[in-house]
Structure 1
């Protein structure tokens, strides 16, 4: 059967399909089959499972879902810039820089667009909410709330398609494999309004060879899944079908620009949406308000909360620690937040899987080895054999589902040039953060081998400051400033040129991903006695966050008073 609307021959279906000889009637939807399909999708997508949950603890999506900020996203090219920089900058982008798009309107032309939108590519960094947006889109359709002109929505995540990489089957067989309730041939005629959703392009292990794959126009012809996908997206199969593909930015070039009609970008939570999320997610109103106030005072955490996954981690930590103690100090750095999260997930694992014999310490060290080795190689998704190489039993790792998610491996060449977008930067922050005695104390009941470092955090901070002074690369300099924050030191660095009588003060601007240098001309006798800590840091500020520009300048007023000039 050709996916040609002019075809009027009957289909021959296998057992369970429409009886042979039944003629196709254009435009006539099998309502009963559609309702069964909607019911299956509603049951599958109505709940949102976050991390490790006890049976029955999954939350209804509508109770917790917070709309994400989605905008136009360029031309679909690879974004190979520093990924941490993408995360930081996304948090302060102004709405005016891109026209917002409702998730339900993803296929509707924007103002000024006149061509039909058939293929949409949606980009977004890890954890930004791509999969949850897909879930909400499907659920709204299945419940009859949005896009009711669509006859069928067919979600086919790449992580599931990967499992069929070596099989040959027709489009009819592929669809009926995932959706056995779809037996009516009219869905394959081209007259039905069908949307395919391919979630997680960055997890794809198929070649997706749009240039060399053979042409396929027959929905009953058995071919590889790769050939099916490329011909579907190119329009050779079911040319009237719509497609929504989600991906991390670095994998966007797997789809040729000619095969993309519109690119959108999910930017996560705006500041008001962060607050909305925590008020929905944390049932105790007082605790939710305290959490929001705390995050607003902690710049690095507040920035990261535009990523929904990090917001969930934060809410999990806050609720769990609050249950144990009414007056617990909330984490102020990324290291503290993730340390608390690891402790919580391990505790929940022990509650659920008490029969496991391997100690947490052994498993955590093995997982750490796995993470670091794969990070060095630039892999963000692991395969089963990677775990075995690190001595990890796959069954054992699966119980750490709040720490380990689905296990897959990136194919060679899929994400090129990641050793350049700062994939070790966050690791460096955590490494320095873990050198603090306070953070080591948190982990002591999990890792008995933690030992005090001979080098104090003050000495480490001074080494980092010297690296900042010597560093020319702006991205590395910025990350080093955040490393100071993990060490509970203010990200303000002084440099003195005694020959010219100049004091240089470098700091990270709170509203931009860049540093600023201030120059002060100071009399020599004052320069000889200058101590930045006297102006910037006080004992009660040891655990505070990055200082704002106004804070720094205010504290430097005594220096400016003695200065002959300042820039």
Structure 2
């Protein structure tokens, strides 16, 4: 039974599917898997900041603060304990949580790691959600997913069992740890909610190992006393980014060209921390290189996602040649869905949401095929369908595209003017500059940066070069050639006004999407000295960002220029050692 179970898991997890299950390309995981940067330690606190902002902040943090750990070793520091071992692993969307679980299981099933564990039972929350109305015991639950599994697996003290609960953020159960009744017998029937809380608390199978994965915003669903170790998947570090592209792109010259290109754009290179974004980029690079050597590789996020939309739409044409719906109609409906769900803060949505946007439920699989990797559908609660975009950034791009299309073709596409939501002001803009000002102000009022990426995309779509890319998909869209200089000046002023580095940095990226870099040149060529005040906590990061996005190399760095004497400035003084310490991340990132 032990070997049969291992063989079953090996067959199930040996392939890695990038994109949407049953539609993406399946490859052996050993051919493409790239080790992720995982750190040990920390707490299971909630973090509801925009996940791209979390990624960007992590890219500035000193690596010395982290304790890296290999995926296969995630339990090793705790193996000698004689009490429940429960590990909580956090990571933003698309960062590789599920793939890490897959690789961990495959290594065990093939006999390469963690052989002191006798049985591993992976359980996905999205599948557990389907059993909401059922009442069964823990043995029945396991046998439901792994038929033929003998109950002696749990009764023998010789067997070391591990449960992997993947995707806590998708859990539809209340997980009421305080009020749920206690359950200690694996043969005692209970609701799935009760079984889960008792398994996590250690009442059921107290000797079992437990691994829970989740997005940061859902981490606090598990009480701190139920977690023995917290780890975080931070995606790819810089060497791992290169390794991924070399494995993913078979043409060595093209892989080298891709790596060099991604490094040349700070905004793209930071996003490459996210494996899903690396996959999107590799998809775009391979296709654009096939089409023509004259096609320029994307230098901004807007260009990258525009190319990706074009590729996926052409995939839809190849698969569904008899579709009567035009590309413009399909994109507008998907954009409307993306915008409405972004406005409501939803990453997962249901059949009624699709109907409201004019999407025929009976043809939803075609939309999911679209956009082969843009839009996906899965079995959901009560055996219904649950829908989502493959990644939040794709939803944000389509939402920004929807707003831009509404503005460009307002006679045909303007939504109900009676809208009173926070974002409804976008549809009342009279000029393109008014639209941009409204979007900038809304993004700055969003405390946790939830409109940051949406804003970057919306500004980027105002460039004529990006509109030209979309023209063969959206032929009826009017060109918006109005100069972006007013918007550039508005964003520059907002950079000066902001008190936090996160706000300023996103605005710098907005200028990058507008293909405007003069602000960096002006700053670098101004007085030649930074005041001590700019090096104080919360402000020096912006200085560091300016160093990183500048392509100009400094032959000499004069520390004295960064220190003012009491006669020169009455702001808080820092010792030279303190200033140097704060500049260490700047220097190391530039090497």
Q: TM range, normalised to the smaller chain?
A: 0.7 to 0.9
Residue 398 (structure 1) aligned with residue 368 (structure 2): yes
Equivalence for 2:459: 432
CA distance in 2, matches of 1:553, 1:234: 57
Alignment map for 1:223-372 (pairs within 5 Å): 223-372=190-339
- Distance verdict in 2 for CA 1:97–1:110, change over 3 Å: farther
State how far apart, in whole Å, the 2-side matches of 1:362 and 1:203 are: 31
User: What are the within-5 Å matches in structure 2 for residues 125-524 of structure 1?
Assistant: 125-189=92-156, 191-393=158-360, 394-399=364-369, 400-406=371-377, 408=386, 420-453=447-480, 455-490=482-517, 492=519, 514-516=541-543
SS at 1:480's partner residue?
helix
1:73 positional shift: 3.8
| Contact 2:89-2:214 within 8 A present in 1 as well | yes
Deviation string 1:430-470 (CA, Å, 9 cap, x unpaired) is: 00001111111111111223222252122322222233233
CA distance in 1, matches of 2:334, 2:145: 33
Q: Partners of 1:429 and 1:188 in 2: how far apart?
A: 56
Shift of 1:472: 3.5
TM-superposed CA distance for 1:306, in Å, is 1.2
How far is 1:40 from its partner? 1.6
Distance 2:122 2:43 in 1: 24
Contiguous gaps of at least 5 residues in structure 1 = 1-32, 411-417, 519-535, 537-544, 555-564
Contact 1:78 1:251 in 2 (8 A): yes
| 1:132-176 deviation digits (Å, cap 9, x = unpaired) | 000000111111111112111111111111111222222121111
Alignment-derived partner of residue 29 in structure 1: none
Determine which structure has greater relative contact order: mean sequence separation of CA pairs < 8 Å that are 6+ residues apart, divided by chain length. Answer: 1
**Matched residue SS, 2:120:** strand
> Which has the larger helix fraction?
2
For the structure 1 residues 84 and 42, does the alpha-carbon distance in structure 2 shift closer, same or farther, using more than 3 Å as the test? same
Say which of 16, 28, 31 aligns to 1:48.
16
Query: For residues 161 and 487 of structure 1, what CA distance do their matches in structure 2 show?
Result: 45
The C-alpha deviation readout for 1:490-531, integer Å capped at 9, x for no partner, is: 1627999xxxx999999x99xx9832399xxxxxxxxxxxxx
Q: Indicate how the Cα distance of structure 1 residues 505 and 81 shifts in structure 2: closer, same or farther if over 3 A, else same.
A: same
Q: How far 1:219 moved relative to its partner?
A: 1.9
When residues 472 and 92 of structure 1 are mapped into structure 2, their CA distance, relative to the original with a 3 A threshold, is closer
Q: Whole-Å Cα distance in 1 between the matches of residues 449 and 553 of structure 2?
A: 29
Aligned to 1:34: 2
Partner of 1:70: 38
- The CA distance in 2 between the partners of 1:198 and 1:101, in whole Å, is 20
Give the match's secondary structure for 1:212. coil
- What TM-score, normalized to structure 1? 0.78
For residue 438 of structure 2, what is the aligned residue in structure 1? Answer: none
Unaligned stretches of 5+ in structure 2? 379-385, 389-444, 558-567, 572-591
Q: Secondary structure at the match of 1:420?
A: coil
What is the CA distance between 1:343 and its match in structure 2? Answer: 0.9
Q: Which stretch shifts more, 161-170 or 186-195?
A: 186-195
Task: Tell me if structure 2 keeps the 8 A contact 1:437–1:452.
Answer: yes
Structure-2 separation of matches of 1:283 and 1:186: 44
- Distance apart, 1:92 and its partner CA: 4.1
Aligned residue for 1:49, secondary structure, equals strand
CA–CA separation in structure 2 for the residues paired with 1:391 and 1:169: 40
Q: Distance in 1 between matches of 2:529 and 2:506?
A: 19
Paired with 1:192 and 1:387, the residues of 2 have a C-alpha distance of: 47
Residue in 1 that maps onto 2:383 = none
Q: State whether residues 302 and 457 of structure 2, in contact with CA within 8 Å, keep that contact through their aligned partners in structure 1.
A: yes
What aligned pairs does 1:71-150 form with structure 2 within 5 A after superposition?
Answer: 71-109=39-77, 118-150=85-117
SS at match of 1:79: coil
Give the deviation of 1:248 after TM superposition: 0.8
Give, in angstroms, the shift of residue 89 of structure 1: 2.1
Task: Point out the more displaced range, 182-191 or 462-471.
Answer: 182-191
Tell me what 1:23 maps to. none
Flag the structure with larger Rg. Answer: 1
Distance 2:276 2:322 in 1: 30
Measure how far apart 1:553 and its partner are: 11
C-alpha spacing 1:52/1:354, structure 2 compared with 1 (3 Å): farther
Does the 8 Å contact 2:120/2:161 carry over to 1?
A: yes
